[in-house]
Each structure stands twice: as structure tokens, then as C-alpha cells.
Amino acid sequence: MSRLFSKLGYRAGGTDLTLSYQHASTRIAQAGSLPVSILDRNRSANYTPGDFFSPLLDVVTLNARRRLSDSVTLSANGFGRWLSVEQFNVNFLTDDSRLFSRTATQGATLELEGTGPIFGRPNLLSAGIEGSHSEVNVNVFNERNAQSAPCESAADCAARQLDTSVHDRQDTLAAYVQDNLELGRALLRDEDQIFLTVAARWDLIRHRIDDRSPPAEGRASASGDDVFQRIDPLVGLSYNFSPDHSLYASYSEGFRAPALLELTCAGPAAICPGLQAGAAPDPPLKPVRVRSVEVGLRSRPIAGTTGQVSVYRTEVFDDIFSVSPAGTTGVFFQNIGRTRRQGFEASLRSRLSSLLEATISYSFTRATFEEDVLLNTPRSTSDCTTFACNERVLKGSEFPLVPRHRARAGLEVRPFSWLVASVSGSYVGAQRLRGDEENVAPLLPSYFSLEGGLKATVGRLSGSLNVFNLLGSQFSTFGTYATNAKATGDPVERFVTPGRPFQLFVGLSYGL
């Protein structure tokens, strides 16, 4: 792993300019999920040795801000982002797969912000436009291995064959406006204030897909144009009892257009190999639409202590869901109708003294299907024990991999001005495995992990020591169902991802 970040700034009068450059290069070859039958014997085993993911990222960003008058400010942002990825997946059911992906994106944002009274009340108005263009090239190759089917011809025996080649020109355009108006003050108390926020945003996303994949039986071209657009509103009301306590409520709508991966892997006839790229024109996917309501309280009850509590409900329409059929190493995507996320969050931060600071947070989340739906699953179901099954997911069933409970607590001690010591613990509740959307199989157990660290700073020189999983706990963070090709008969098993073991990292940095 290598990283580079540089930043150059200029400020004069009412002008503020910042130019930054970021480079990151990574190669990840760690073990992934394991069948439970192997995990019980060796948690450090690598089920598919040879897998790797290697991204290379370069980002250039220019930010500019100019005060046009005492009440009007103009802001602009321009960026260029170049991402190259090579990914190799070892398979035991079919050929290995190798992906090469190149994405070049350029974009800009222009925003005007003004302050001035409306009906004698303080008001802040902002409006802007933004746009971007991306060129995406994805090529997926199949590479023969010991598990590959026998060759039927010399051409079939090539070490590497092109499976999918997709080019996508993506254009996005958006315009937005937001206004924050003080409706009144000293209504119920001498210090109180009430604010109204209203906003609207228009988004347009266009995909122009050029499918250059070699012809294959039963697979049509995915070439075509897909255009999605929508206007989404937001309205919020905030009541400040005092400078230290406020109550707020908001309603907002949003939408998400299908991504290239989802558009080209949109059905059982277009399964993507290993979450990479596919090619199929049908069935078309609808954009995801969201309606959210949130109510919350922010408070500073005593000096040095802040807290927040909120409850929310998000209704999702035409949600896009990934499905992994049995006997494959990939997925396809489909709209599943209406789903819901609801819950509450609470957090508290307190500086107990000049030496000690404590934080604690908790969240409860319930994510459910709100319509009956029939999904493919690799897992055997009550009415199916064959190779490929469907599961009947009833309204009210919980989403997999979304734990109901999460909690975190931490302490930070500063015994000297140059030294900081910290310790924190995280709890994640039990969750359903992917492939058990009908909620009938055993859950992935809850787990707790403890972390700690030290950081010393002398002048521009800083040194750090961080320890993860201090207790050496054994837990799993992800679970799914898949075919275990290493076992006799290729049975479908639970695959889980082991949590990180005890790890210690030492770092040294120098600020210029």
C-alpha cells in the first residue's frame, strides 16, 4: 500500500483557492469467507489462494471561493478522478476470472450563497449546479484452471478468453436550491428561535452503454441508453429552546439511479461473475426512490458535554437487491418493491476533565421487506432441496447483514500535552446471513471487539501505536450461503468471514 497527499492554498482579500492531489495504490490478497466446516478447524485458512484486488487511484481537486459582497459568496469546485482496478478471482466451480476496469471522471460544481432578511427575518439562500462525465471501460476474462470443463475445441483451450467487454459513458447533471429562514424568536422563552428549511434538487443521470462482448448463445447485447431524472424535495423545522438545546424534524425524498453493474446484470440470464460486469438488456431496472422522516434532539446539558437522540423511518420504493443463485460465483440484481429502514440513534460525548474524554453511542436499526417477494437462493428451503431454489420472503422479514443493535464506547486520556492514550469497544448484534431473506436459518452471532492506541507528538514528528482486537476474540463479520466445491458432493454451506485477529500497527509521520 502506498499513499501520497499534497495540498497548496492561496488566500488574498476575498479570494480563497485550494489545489490538492491524492494518490493511492493498494494490493489486497487477504483470505475471504470460509465454509464453517473449514473455519472450525483453521480460522486463518485461505479458501481461494491467489485472489487479489489491486486499485490505483489519482484525484486532483481545485476549490475556489470568492466573496462578491458582504452578503454574497461564489464557490466553485472542479475535480478529476482516475481509477484503475485489476481483480482476480479463483473459482472451484468454473473458470477463474480476471477483471480490468478503468474509470476517468471529471466534474465541477458552482454555488452561489447569499444572506439577507426576508420579511425582516434573517435568511440564508444557496443555489447551485453540478455536473460530471465518466468514461468507464470494463473487461472480464475467463482463465482456465483444474476445475474447468474439458475443451471442445482448440479455441476453447486458450489460457485466457474474453467474457465481457463493456464501455459506459456516464453523464450527470444536477441543480439545487435551499433556503433557511428564521421564522421567529422569543416565542415561548426569551432565548428561543425557530427556523424553517426548504430545498429542492433535480438530478439527471444518463448511461450510454456499448457492449463489446464476444457473441455467446442466449446472451443479447446490453448496448443502449438509460436516462433517469427526478426532482426531490426537503423540508425541515428546527426549534432552539436555547443556544444549548434544540429539537428538529425533517421530511425528505431522494432517488438513486441503477449503476452500470446493476444495469448489465439485471436478471437470471445475466449473472455477473464475481461482482464484476455482465451484459444483458432485460429486464430494465427502475431507480430506487426514498421517503424519509426524522425527528431529533440535540443538547449540551453541561459544559463540555454534548448529546444527540434521533428517530427515523425511511420508506424505499423499487429497492434494488442482489441475488446469488446456487452453482454460481456471481450475482444478478432485481427490483423487489417496497422496503423499510427505521430505528433510533443516540450519542454522548463528554470532556470529564482536561485529561479525560469519554464517548458512547448506540443505534437500533430494523430493515424489513414490506412486500412479499420470491428470490433465488443457494440455500435449500422448506419446499425445495434441489440445486437451485427459490425462497418466499414475506412482508416483515428482516434484511440480511443488517444487525439490529450496534454500540460503541471509548475513553481518551491525555496525561501529558504530547501524549494521547485511547481505548474503545464495539458491539455488533446478531444478523441474518445473505441467502436467508426469509428468516428461517440460524443467525450470525453477535460480537464484541476492543481496540487501543497511543499517539505521541513532538514538534512536527508524530509516532503512533494501534492495537486491534486486544482480547483476541474469535468472531465473524459477514455470512452467506454458497457451494463448497472442496467438499464431497459440492454441498451448499454457510460461508463466514473471520473478524480481524489481534493486530498491532506502528506508525511514524513528519509534517512539512
pLDDT (0 to 100) of residue 217: 75
Phi/psi for 178 (5° steps) reads: -145, 140
Percent over 70 (pLDDT), the chain:
91
Q: What is the mean pLDDT of residues 470-493?
A: 90
Buried b (16+ CB within 10 A) or exposed e, 313-331: ebbbbbbbbebbbbebbbb
Count of helix runs (H) and strand runs (E) in the chain:
2, 26
Q: What is the mean pLDDT of residues 356-381?
A: 93
pLDDT (0 to 100) of residue 224: 86
Contacts 24+ apart (CB under 8 A), 416-423: 418/456, 418/457, 418/458, 419/454, 419/455, 419/456, 420/454, 420/455, 420/456, 421/452, 421/453, 421/454, 422/452, 422/453, 422/454, 422/455, 423/450, 423/451, 423/452, 423/453, 423/470
Does 22 score more than 60 pLDDT? yes
Q: What is the pTM of this model?
A: 0.86
pLDDT (0 to 100) of residue 152: 61
- Domain presence at residue 289: no
Residue 104 or residue 152, greater confidence? 104
3-class DSSP state of 236: strand
State which residues form the domain around 136.
Answer: 1-239
Q: Which three cell numbers stand for residue 313?
A: 423511518
Q: Which three cell numbers stand for residue 172?
A: 450527470
- Domain presence at residue 404: no
Residue 175 or residue 224, greater confidence? 175
Q: With cut-offs at 50, 70 and 90, classify the pLDDT of residue 125.
A: very high
CA angle 254, 257, 263 (to 5 degrees): 155
Looking up residue 96, the CATH number of its domain turns out to be 2.40.170.20
pLDDT tens, 260-310?
888 877 555 455 644 344 444 445 789 999 999 999 999 999 989 999 999
Q: What is the mean pLDDT of residues 224-238?
A: 95
Alpha-carbon Rg for the chain, nearest whole angstrom, is: 26
Does 337 score more than 50 pLDDT? yes
Spatial distance between the Cα atoms of 49 and 29, rounded to a whole number of angstroms:
8
* Residue type present at position 30: Q
Q: Which three cell numbers stand for residue 183?
A: 421564522
pLDDT (0 to 100) of residue 215: 84
CB 199 within 8 A of CB 233: yes
pLDDT (0 to 100) of residue 149: 62
Q: Which three cell numbers stand for residue 156?
A: 476453447
Spatial distance between the Cα atoms of 39 and 51, rounded to a whole number of angstroms:
18
- Domain presence at residue 122: yes
- Domain presence at residue 216: yes
Cell numbers 422569543 label which residue?
Answer: 186
Q: With cut-offs at 50, 70 and 90, classify the pLDDT of residue 156.
A: low
**219: which DSSP letter?**
B
Q: What is the mean pLDDT of residues 336-349?
A: 96
pLDDT (0 to 100) of residue 382: 77
Of 260-264, 350-354, 437-441, the range with the lowest mean pLDDT is 260-264
Does 249 score more than 90 pLDDT? yes
- Domain presence at residue 423: no
Spatial distance between the Cα atoms of 295 and 248, rounded to a whole number of angstroms:
6
Q: Provide DSSP, 161-201.
A: EEEEEEEEEEEEEEEEEEEEEEEEESSSSTT-EEEEEEEEE
Of 141-155, 306-320, 477-491, the range with the lowest mean pLDDT is 141-155
- Domain presence at residue 101: yes
Does 512 score more than 90 pLDDT? no
Q: Which three cell numbers stand for residue 376?
A: 433465488
Spatial distance between the Cα atoms of 500 and 472, rounded to a whole number of angstroms:
9
- Quickly count: other Cβ atoms within 10 Å of residue 415's Cβ: 10
CB 112 within 8 A of CB 74: yes
pLDDT (0 to 100) of residue 151: 62
3-class DSSP state of 407: strand
Q: What is the mean pLDDT of residues 78-85?
A: 97
Q: With cut-offs at 50, 70 and 90, classify the pLDDT of residue 485.
A: confident
Does 363 score more than 80 pLDDT? yes
Q: With cut-offs at 50, 70 and 90, classify the pLDDT of residue 143.
A: confident
pLDDT (0 to 100) of residue 404: 98
- Domain presence at residue 202: yes
Q: How far is CA 294 from the centre of its chain?
A: 21
Cell numbers 482463465 label which residue?
Answer: 143
Cell numbers 425445495 label which residue?
Answer: 384
Of 66-80, 242-256, 331-345, the range with the lowest mean pLDDT is 331-345
pLDDT (0 to 100) of residue 280: 44
pLDDT (0 to 100) of residue 274: 42
pLDDT (0 to 100) of residue 276: 42
Spatial distance between the Cα atoms of 126 and 180, rounded to a whole number of angstroms:
9
**What is the average pLDDT score of the chain?**
89
pLDDT (0 to 100) of residue 92: 76
On the question of a cis peptide bond just before residue 258, with omega within 30 degrees of 0, the verdict is no
3-class DSSP state of 38: helix
Of 161-170, 340-349, 373-382, the range with the lowest mean pLDDT is 373-382
Does 90 score more than 50 pLDDT? yes
Does 377 score more than 70 pLDDT? yes
Does 339 score more than 90 pLDDT? yes
Does 78 score more than 50 pLDDT? yes
| Structural domain count of the chain | 1
pLDDT (0 to 100) of residue 387: 63
Of 264-273, 431-440, 455-464, the range with the lowest mean pLDDT is 264-273
Does 163 score more than 80 pLDDT? yes
Catalogue the E-assigned strands of 261-385. 288-299, 305-317, 320-323, 332-335, 339-351, 356-369, 373-377
Does 326 score more than 80 pLDDT? no
Spatial distance between the Cα atoms of 273 and 328, rounded to a whole number of angstroms:
8
pLDDT tens, 388-400?
788 899 999 999 9
Classify 13 in phi/psi space as left (phi over 0), alpha (psi -120 to 50) or beta: left
Of 71-85, 118-132, 311-325, 360-374, the range with the lowest mean pLDDT is 311-325
CB 276 within 8 A of CB 99: yes
- Domain presence at residue 152: yes
Residue 212 or residue 324, greater confidence? 212
